[in-house]
Chains A and B, each alone.
Chain A
Amino acid sequence: MSAEKNNKQGQKLPLTNPATLDSHSDEDDIEETSPWKDTCKYLQKNRFAITGCLIILFFVLFGFLAPLLTSYSYQGQDLANRLQPPSSEHWFGTDDVGRDIFTRIAYGARVSMQVGFFAVTGALVFGTLLGMIAGYFGRWIDTIISRIFDIVLAFPSILLAIAIVAILGASLQNALIAIAIINIPIFGRIVRSKVISLREEEFIMAARAQGMKNGRIIFHHILPNSAAPIIVQATLGFGTAILDAAALGFLGLGAQPPTPEWGAMLAASRDFIQLAPWTLIFPGISIMLVVLGFNLIGDGLRDALDPKMKN
């Protein structure tokens, strides 16, 4: 775990960061170090998290700048140039209908980031909401919601996603919905346990004593205080969502051709592996790097935000 790697680094560094202490004494007029600033500082010291950020930044730019980086279209076929090996003209070679793989991977980065973003946002919103309700109100509402979480988590996640896509029909949008659904209970459980521990805190009781409404207590006091684990899970979930979408795409249950989705690209090129291995190597490495990037950031964030979770 990169947690251990941080420990290693931690041994080299003094336990209390002198920079933080300095800023404490120097700037006494402004808001000083907030937990977020501390987190940023901690992350900057974590080489693994930095590497992760760079990888993700690279792919985000890669996707954004795709039209500038390449003059090919991601769906333009060129049968005369099919299965060409990597060259100065086609950096990553061409696929079985002569499409430039570099171009398709660049546009694929857009697809992947969108998938990650929407699946995680969906799961985060619904999971947080349900977890809040379950944890805050307790009793039978909690029992029902927690049981539903248990049941959904009783299925191996990708299997449930496959079943949902089998119901809704194979498309990128439905794959996205399926991935969001399987992630709801993961967020829900985290939020619920956090809310339960916060519910009895004195500052919540004080807010209630002041006559504050439930909704306001939840959104102004409980939610901000449960943000840390949600953020960590969202980062890790981003990577998993992209991986799951690629898996569904590979099975033909996600993005449909000619969408340049990395998993679907692997499926389309499967038969040419001996003839043109580059058609599989580059999309695969792209998926791996993006997932690795999010894992590195997620691990780093976890160590930074919650020192108790460190081993």
Chain B
Amino acid sequence: MTAYIIRRLLHLIPVLIGMTLITFSIVHLIPGNPAQTILGEAATQEAVKNLEESMGLNEPYIKQYGIYVTDLLKGDLGTSLRTKAAITKEIWPHIAATFELTFFAMLFAIFIGVNAGIISAWKQNSWFDFLAMLFALVGVSIPVFWLALMEQWVFAQELGWFPAYGRENSRDPIAAITQFYVLDAFIHLDFPRIFTILKHLLLPSIALGTIPMAIIARMTRSSMLEVMQSDYIRTVRAKGAGQFLVIYKHALKNATIPILTVIGLQTGVLLGGAILTETIFSWPGIGRYVFEAINYRDYPVIQSGVLVIAFLFVIINLIIDILYTYIDPRIKY
């Protein structure tokens, strides 16, 4: 087990190096003169020269890459061209915001998806099964950004049930400690605020969680159907165990692996989809941070934002891989 984790970590090294190479090249692959592109056509020669010097663009590539990686290892993600602030400091609240959003989106996706899949498998070929799978089929094909816009229109603008933008009531900002607002509100024991924050979270979480929910539901259904036919389930039934116990205690356990794989893969989709959802709901997460940086040609932020998101994705997949061995001890590596 330990050996497996170590091997898995070693395998990560070339991937991480490759990731830094890709984010490093983001600036250098800009056609023409990067500094000129960043500053725009109207920039003076002097300004271009200054930027080239401050970004170290005059050095040879290898040296530049060396500096880039050394800085990264020191935890220095560079300086934003727009705000002139250190990205490492600036980025944390955005990461927390995205984490909070993806966490609730995944919670929604797993809770509804797994249960819908289980009931569909349990009541195979029933009207519930048919409707759930039809819904799942459509759910996989829905563009996240369109769903988000529709939700915003119906539930925020027309019905006014939920706020359309942001993480909290902007006139009454929270004194953030961890930057995870739900957690922060708990720390302050401010229960009305928890309610407000959850209300802000609901629409974006559902928009972001719909595609994973649909995929998880389909996966759960098919792996449950497979497990339900196995001998040990028949034995459990023969013992006289109730349907609920058979499904949730015995069958679900063995249907978990494929479901977990899907959850791991979908987290990447979520992190990507977060860019779209965050843009629509003005959610101050890392996706929107990167997107705004593109509009301002703030390349250091683009580089670091992309790297951080990819890094998170890799780490989540690592955790899922390690979880496998805990959940199913039969898996040996």
CB distance from A254 to the nearest CB of B (A): 12
Among B19, B223, B275, the residue within 8 A (CB) of A251 is B275
Which of chain B's residues has its CB closest to A281's CB? B150
Which listed segment binds A: B2-10, B85-93, B135-143, B319-327?
A: B135-143
Bound complex: CA A63 to CA B138 (Å)? 23
Q: What is the predominant secondary structure among interface residues of chain A facing chain B?
A: helix
- Chain A 111-144 residues near chain B, CB threshold 8 A: none
A1-B218, A288-B138 given as contacts; is B19 within 8 A of A154 (CB)? yes
Q: Do A247 and B26 touch (CB < 8 A)? A: no
Q: Is B310 an interface residue (CB 8 A)?
A: yes
Q: Does B202 touch A at the CB level, under 8 Å?
A: no
- For A17-54 the 0/1 string (1 means CB < 8 A from B) is 00000000000000000000000000000001000000
A-B contact count (CB 8 A): 145
Is residue B207 within 8 Å, beta carbon to beta carbon, of the partner chain? Answer: no
Could you tell me the distance between the alpha carbons of A168 and B276 in the complex, rounded to whole angstroms? 20
Of all chain B residues, the one with the shortest Cβ separation from A11 is B125
Contact B276 A284 (CB under 8 A): no
Nearest A residue to B271 via CB reads: A156
Closest to A2 in B: B137
- Of the listed residues B15, B31, B226, B272, the one surrounded by the most CB atoms of chain A closer than 10 A to its CB is B272
Inter-chain contacts of B150 with A (CB < 8 A):
280-281, 284
Give the docked Cα–Cα distance between A283 and B35 (Å).
Answer: 38
A287 at the interface (CB under 8 A from B): yes
Give the residues in chain A near B273, CB-CB below 8 Å. Answer: 158
- The CA-CA distance from A266 to B280 in the complex, in Å, is 12
Chain A contacts with B in 53-73, Cβ cutoff 8 A = none
The answer to whether A292 and B137 have CB atoms under 8 Å apart is: yes
Of A157, A287, A295, which is within 8 A of B272 by CB? A157
Question: Chain B interface secondary structure, helix, strand, loop or mixed?
Answer: helix
Which residues of B are found within 8 Å of A163, using beta-carbon distances? 22-23, 26, 302, 306
Are A277 and B153 in contact (CB-based, < 8 A)?
yes
Write out, one digit per residue, whether chain A residues 230-272 have a CB within 8 A of any chain B CB (1) or not (0). 0000000001000100110011110000000001001000100
Contacts of B222 in A (CB 8 A): 1, 3-4, 311
- Complex: chain A residue closest to B280, CB-CB: A270
B22 touches A151 (CB 8 A): yes
A232 to chain B, nearest CB (A): 15
B145 vs chain A, min Cβ distance (A): 5
In contact, B26 and A167 (Cβ under 8 angstroms):
yes
Shortest distance between the CB of B279 and any CB in chain A (Å): 7
Q: Does A198 contact B (CB under 8 A)?
A: no
Q: Find out whether the CB atom of B149 lies under 8 angstroms from the CB atom of A284.
A: yes
CB-CB under 8 A from A3, the residues of chain B are 222
| Interface check A306, CB cutoff 8 A | no
Contact status B294-A155, CB under 8 Å: no
Q: Which residues of A contact B290 (CB under 8 A)?
A: 159, 162
Give the residue among B125, B143, B273 with the most A Cβ atoms within 10 A: B143
* Residues in chain B near residue A289, CB distance under 8 A: 141
Among B143, B146, B158, B313, contact of A156 (Cβ-Cβ < 8 Å): B313
A-B contact pairs, 8 of them (CB 8 A): A5-B133, A156-B309, A163-B306, A266-B149, A273-B149, A284-B149, A287-B143, A288-B142
What 9 A-B pairs are tightest by C-beta distance, nearest first? A151-B18, A156-B272, A284-B146, A292-B141, A158-B272, A311-B222, A291-B141, A156-B268, A1-B218
Interface residues of A (CB under 8 A from B): 1-5, 8, 48, 147-148, 150-152, 154-160, 162-163, 166-169, 239, 243, 246-247, 250-253, 263, 266, 270, 273-274, 277, 280-281, 283-284, 287-289, 291-292, 295-296, 311
